Amino acid sequence: MARKVVNRKELRAQADAAEAREKAGGKKEKPAKVKAAKEAVAKEPKKPAAKKPARKKVAKEVRLKAYWGVFNPAMKRLVLFEYADKKAAEKKATDLTASSRAQHFIQLVKEAIAE
């Protein structure tokens, strides 16, 4: 589809004519609708400013300590070992697996330190 070609000379002539009319006639008159809308906005009472939301308290950072836990297949923690005693935790898990049919495993557990 071809577009309509814009003739810049005609547009410039129209703009010059409008400026000449404006200078000769004084101020350019605004439409009645625009005036009525501005007056209606000016008459409306201003709404009070919305209150700022209260700041939420920042949660205190909790220090955590790592442990190795020995778990059964039902995710029940059976034994808890210090983080440095990983070999002992693995040995306990293999002993429990050997003594029963269920597969026991170790998993990292983080618990909060009570100060």
- Using alpha carbons only, give the angle 103, 106, 108 rounded to the nearest 5 degrees: 150
- The angle subtended at Cα 35 by Cα 34 and Cα 38, nearest 5°, is 85
Mention every residue, 6+ apart, whose C-beta is less than 8 A from residue 105.
70, 71, 93
| Whether the predicted model's global pTM rises above the 0.95 cut | no
Mean pLDDT of the 72-85 span? 95
Looking up tokens 């906005």 gives 41
pLDDT in tens, 12-26: 888 888 888 888 876
CA dist 35 and 37 (Å) reads 5
